Amino acid sequence: MPDRGGGPSGPRIRVGRPSRRVRTLLMTLGVLAVLAMLFVMFSGFWTDWLWYRSVHYSSVFTTTLWTKIGLFFAFGAVMAVAVGVNIWLAHRLRPPLSAMSMEQQSLDRYRMGIAPFKKWALIAITAVIGLIAGASASGEWRTWLQWVNGVPFGQKDPQFGMDVAFYAFDLPWYRFLLSFGFACAVLCLVAAALTHYLYGGLRVTSPGSRATAAATGHLSVLLGIFVSLKAIAYWLDRYGLAVKSTGLKSADNWAGMRYVDAHAYLPAKTILFFIAAICAVLFFATLWRRTWQLPVIGFGLMVLSAILIGGLYPAIVQKFQVQPNEASKEAPYIKRNIKATRDAYDIRDSEVMPYKGDYKPAGKEDSRRLRDDADTTASMRLLDPNVVSPAFQQQQQVRAYYQFPSTLDVDRYKDKGGAEQDTVIGLRELNIAGIPDHNWINDHFKYTHGYGAVSAKGTETADGGGPKYSESDLPTKGQLVGPYQQRVYYGEKTSQYSIVGGPQKELDYSDDSGEKSYRYTGKSGVNLSNPINRAAYAVAFGEPQILYSGAIGDGSRILYNRTPKERVEAVAPWLTIDGDAYPAVIKGRIQWIVDAYTTSNGYPYASRTTLGDTTADSLTDGQRAVVAQQNQVNYIRNSVKATVDAYDGSVKLYQWDEKDPVLKTWMKSFPGTVKKKADISPQLKEHLRYPQDLFKVQRQLLTTYHVTEPGTFYSGSERWQVPSDPTTKSGNAVPPYYLSMKMPDQKDQAFSLTTTFTPNKKDNLGAFMAVDANAMSPDYGRIRLLKLPAQTPVPGPQLAQSKFNSDPTIANELNILKRGDSEIEYGNLLTVPLDGGLLYVEPVYLRGAGTNYPLLKKVLVSYGDNKPVLEDSLEDALDVVFGKKAPSTGTKPPGGETGQQPPANQTVQQALSDAEKAYEDGEKALERKDLAGYDAAKKRLKAALDRAAKASEEAKSAGKGNKSGG
């Protein structure tokens, strides 16, 4: 018990030391807390290492890790040593404390307080500063690797004659070193000044000299270093003018030198460099002169020069030399910008061809020729992958724990005859939200994978307007791809982790005979048989069950990072990943194909673009991802094609652009991670295509940079814009469409990616753009632009849609379709150049009352000044629009034959026969789980029974009439 006593101030309580047992307990708890924190840190590191080793990209992990560690310790040590030495030196140069002023007496308390801890205080301050500096430097690992491994571009900028690699790889590193040097100089200056002040070397309120000679010399040297760095900054700023973003009224993101940069800012930066260098020498000279008079004057002159030479003079040049004749003055620099931008975005070879766009048939023979040409010019893809996903979901989902993406993909497959056809494809992926009973075992052990690829012909539909499947059912069957591994363990919708291969069996799929079980046999994922691994993942995932669950045993493997985008980003963190991976069945395996880009923000004179804004369109609003969000770049190449196996998750990177210096630089940094282009198999190459995101970036640049003449570029009179999507009310840009078609200079159809342009702030058509998207084609990547004459307005997508909607006949027929609670949905509005004119084709889908998916019911077609038509099929619509046949005299109700009136001689027996056939068809459709077919058969059955009843009544009435007549 503590002693208690009395005194003048009352009773005192003396608290004794904790007992030995309590001290031991506290120490044990402290040690355990430290060990727990260390294990948490270890778990993150260890699980990352295990994952990279499991995908055979451990070199990426180690190269990145050692680079970060090296930069952390190198720059952290430099910063810590620099600050520590300056604090030590300021302390060493402290004056003797004899006559104490009031200022020094007040500081004496602080000196006495830290005197016993000076060494530890110095270590603590330098350690904290070093940690912060090291952490900041480790984030520059990409900049360091590019500087060390940079490969020349083989192109020089027109102003300084430096290789583009200097701006892309060297200048960013030099700028980082400069910013680090500034930070180091400022921290050293502040630390030294505070130390000098604390120990009397600097005085603020004391009479006499404000600084000792030693303090003056020390701080002057630090100020001289700072001004020297400023001189270097002025010199680097000269080169920075070539990559500086500036404004030009005809190009918002215009970059590179302009007239005022070359004739005002460039000489100003050079003059300021020499002034700063002289000012730095004056600061260093203070070591001998022991006065700040000349350095302060020099520094003041430098600041004044920066204002007058670096700010005022360029403004005068811009106002009085450039603005009166800006187009002429800027012409040479605009020309540089146009060439650099077209090179940097790989649009320099885009061909602009004049196209009339308003061809009018001369007579019947001409119309028949156009009708025949319409069949060979393009394979009209009526099945819109952005609309038919609900049909896949309704007809092919089979179980609630499966799902299809909201936007399906377009690919090419060969039919039995070897002919290539556009195909809409989607994978039946796992839907964790559809699991009937949620618990840890079900979510992570039993329901682990999706099953099968479902595909449909892009140019045809089944009876009733649904997709005409070429691969369907569960397990999938068809003649398009042959036998293949159908299990989908890795997919765009598969975001949760699964533990497979152990004692707990998985649900494979269900059919009429019941559930089928399965045990994973792939080598993907990380083995959990090791207790350390289990403990690490239990901590990393916050799932303690992983550590002790009996469902985990020999052979158990944990699968995570399961989306194709995540896996490619992880193994190649230096790549920018396309927003849309797509599946293809290749050599009996489902492979996700991922397009990846190398980018740079340091291409001289090339205009910048923000990838997130440029790649956004009407489909990126909740349907497909946007690439790279707010990344600003001014150089991009689709240099890598990557694949991710849907079963075992294996990732392969293939070099696609063999000339790209940025990719070569990264291949030097991470040797062995990217396979050569020659390693791409012919079967894989058949499914490679031109990526949409790159195409969208290029089309945005081509709205301005299709012009190559500086005067026209400056005026902006030829500027285009990407039209908004007329099939939606979002107001966002129309997405590009994959379509097999031929341009006017092509003999055969080619798988292409297409888009349209309208003149700036107008709705008539300005141009049509197509790029050869077939990787097997020698013309792959060739961009063709058909430029329409400005004096002959041709309707653009918005006007074409308005033309459809405002036609009285079409509007009436669509209103008939929409009776009741039915809804109309428009598919992709396809634009096809045809014999000097433009053909617009748009599928019309109907979502009937009680139907959860749209069915193709009509096709809209328009050509030139011809009256737009709405028919049941594309063939009929083309026949009508080109005058081969007369338009239909009315719109049939949805359901094909459902609304057809029976012939006058229809008998009861015929109607009952039709009813029996419809019933049999419905039963067969139900067995196939074809809900659309079953629904159509039910309607046919009802219609047949109604006809039978009507025929029976007519027969009775006829019989009564005969009796009366008799």
Q: Percent of the chain, pLDDT > 70? A: 86
* pLDDT at residue 262 in the model: 92
* pLDDT at residue 598 in the model: 95
* pLDDT at residue 691 in the model: 94
Q: What is the distance between the alpha carbons of residues 727 and 860, in angstroms, rounded to a whole number?
A: 13
Judge whether residue 622 has pLDDT over 60. no
- 475 preceded by a cis bond (ω within 30 of 0): yes
Mean of pLDDT over the chain? 85
- The whole-model pTM stands at 0.84
* pLDDT at residue 357 in the model: 83
Q: Percent of the chain, pLDDT > 90? A: 48
Q: Output the DSSP codes for 839-855.
A: EEEEEEEEE-TT-SS-E
Say which amino acid occupies 72.
F
Q: What is the pLDDT of residues 738-767, one digit of tens each?
A: 999 999 988 888 999 999 999 988 888 999
Q: What angle do CA 726, 727, 733 make, to 5 degrees?
A: 55
Neighbours of 687 (CB within 10 A): 19
Average the pLDDT over 524-553 and give the result. Answer: 91
* pLDDT at residue 356 in the model: 87
* pLDDT at residue 910 in the model: 65
Judge whether residue 417 has pLDDT over 50. yes
Most confident range, picked from 245-259, 556-570, 623-637: 556-570
Q: What angle do CA 649, 651, 652 make, to 5 degrees?
A: 150
Is 315 buried (19+), middle (13-18) or exposed (0-12) by CB count in 10 A? Answer: exposed
Least confident of 280-284, 853-857, 882-886: 882-886
Say which amino acid occupies 730.
S
Handedness of CA 433, 435, 439, 444 (dihedral sign): negative
CA 761 → CA 82, 530, 697, 720, distances in Å? 59, 65, 20, 8
* pLDDT at residue 207 in the model: 56
Is residue 516 within 8 A of residue 510, CB to CB? The reply is yes
Q: What is the distance between the alpha carbons of residues 907 and 912, in angstroms, rounded to a whole number?
A: 9
Of 432, 431, 426, 433, the C-alpha closest to 452 is: 426
Q: What is the distance between the alpha carbons of residues 418 and 424, in angstroms, rounded to a whole number?
A: 18
* pLDDT at residue 4 in the model: 36
Q: What is the pLDDT of residues 188-224, one digit of tens each?
A: 999 999 888 888 777 766 555 667 888 888 998 999 9
Least confident of 25-29, 190-194, 336-340, 873-877: 25-29
Neighbours of 821 (CB within 10 A): 10
Is 639 buried (19+), middle (13-18) or exposed (0-12) by CB count in 10 A? Answer: buried
Most confident range, picked from 60-74, 706-720, 846-860: 60-74
Most confident range, picked from 652-666, 829-843, 867-881: 652-666
Of 525, 395, 507, the C-alpha closest to 933 is: 395
Q: What is the distance between the alpha carbons of residues 302 and 296, in angstroms, rounded to a whole number?
A: 10
Q: What is the distance between the alpha carbons of residues 459 and 457, in angstroms, rounded to a whole number?
A: 6
Q: What is the pLDDT of residues 153-174, one digit of tens each?
A: 999 999 999 999 999 999 999 9
**Residues in CB range of 135: below 8 A, 6 or more apart:** 72, 76
Q: What is the distance between the alpha carbons of residues 869 and 318, in angstroms, rounded to a whole number?
A: 57
Query: Residues for the chain: how many in total?
Result: 966
Q: What is the distance between the alpha carbons of residues 696 and 737, in angstroms, rounded to a whole number?
A: 11
Of 239, 142, 161, the C-alpha closest to 665 is: 142
* pLDDT at residue 678 in the model: 94
Of 805, 786, 808, the C-alpha closest to 797 is: 805
Q: What is the pLDDT of residues 670-684, one digit of tens each?
A: 999 999 999 999 999
Q: How confident is the model at residue 5 (pLDDT cuts 50, 70, 90)?
A: very low
Average the pLDDT over 650-672 and give the result. Answer: 95
Q: What angle do CA 593, 595, 596 make, to 5 degrees?
A: 135
Q: What is the pLDDT of residues 334-356, one digit of tens each?
A: 999 999 999 999 999 998 999 98
Of 474, 604, 575, the C-alpha closest to 157 is: 604
Q: How confident is the model at residue 107 (pLDDT cuts 50, 70, 90)?
A: low
Q: How confident is the model at residue 930 (pLDDT cuts 50, 70, 90)?
A: low
Judge whether residue 662 has pLDDT over 80. yes
Helix (H, G, I), strand (E, B) or coil at 406: coil
Find the Cα–Cα–Cα–Cα dihedral 593, 598, 601, 604, rounded to 10°.
-130
Contacts 24+ apart (CB under 8 A), 468-472: 469/396, 470/413, 470/423, 471/425, 472/395, 472/396
**Residues in CB range of 831: below 8 A, 6 or more apart:** 754, 756, 768, 797, 800, 838, 839, 840
Q: What is the pLDDT of residues 262-304, one digit of tens each?
A: 999 999 999 999 999 999 998 888 877 767 777 788 888 888 8
Is residue 733 within 8 A of residue 617, CB to CB? The reply is yes
Q: How confident is the model at residue 965 (pLDDT cuts 50, 70, 90)?
A: very low
DSSP H stretches of helix in 93-140 = 102-114, 118-138
Alpha carbon 705 to chain centroid, angstroms: 23
Average the pLDDT over 308-333 and give the result. Answer: 88
| Residue found by looking up tokens 């594309």 in the block | 874
Q: Which two tokens stand for residue 284?
A: 């260093």
Is 698 buried (19+), middle (13-18) or exposed (0-12) by CB count in 10 A? Answer: buried
Q: How confident is the model at residue 700 (pLDDT cuts 50, 70, 90)?
A: very high
Q: Output the DSSP codes for 382-403.
A: -S-TTTSHHHHHHHH--STTEE
Alpha carbon 769 to chain centroid, angstroms: 22
Judge whether residue 16 has pLDDT over 80. no
